[in-house]
Chain A
Amino acid sequence: GESVGLHLPTLSVQEGDNSIINCAYSNSASDYFIWYKQESGKGPQFIIDIRSNMDKRQGQRVTVLLNKTVKHLSLQIAATQPGDSAVYFCAENIGGSYIPTFGRGTSLIVHP
């Protein structure tokens, strides 16, 4: 079965709120994780990544948190904007493999 999955298929937030998108993984050998954003009519685009030797990584308005104890990954988006509306995928790479496994995706809807 799938080793990467998402808790919530759809997340609706108000503009300006913070958003949190969650992802569970089951393979303890995974050592690299990536979040992708897919807007309507486009392919997925890289947002942020994190390696298993880190717990947190910050980008511009985005933060990824990794909890290896419970095999959980989250993407936090600060001050969510309408342009953040998209489907967000997490992906994992297992121990040295460059071929990722993707989760199902969460649709983020931002209301103005």
Chain B
Amino acid sequence: NAGVMQNPRHLVRRRGQEARLRCSPMKGHSHVYWYRQLPEEGLKFMVYLQKENIIDESGMPKERFSAEFPKEGPSILRIQQVVRGDSAAYFCASSPLTPGPGGEKLFFGSGTQLSVL
């Protein structure tokens, strides 16, 4: 059973371009979370999705950022018109259960390091 797969591992974009980050959850997991990590800091929650639904996007900037988790295929985190401040590591995590008692355990991918020039 493969773990959470994220690609690309490294992504370089110039200011104004679009960044698309992909996450394939573990087999059997239908809950996906996206986190952002700046150097020397902890993870900051961005968005929680289930198949075809955004459940909680309270941590995601209102502009330029969007996420989806289609019925088929990986979850996508999309950043339009990137700026230097978007440079960070973006981690995806998956879970087989809904959040709450018994459903707290998250399995993380290795992340995508986004660098904006």
Question: Do A and B associate with each other?
Answer: no
Please report A residues at the B interface, Cβ cutoff 8 Å: none
Please report B residues at the A interface, Cβ cutoff 8 Å: none
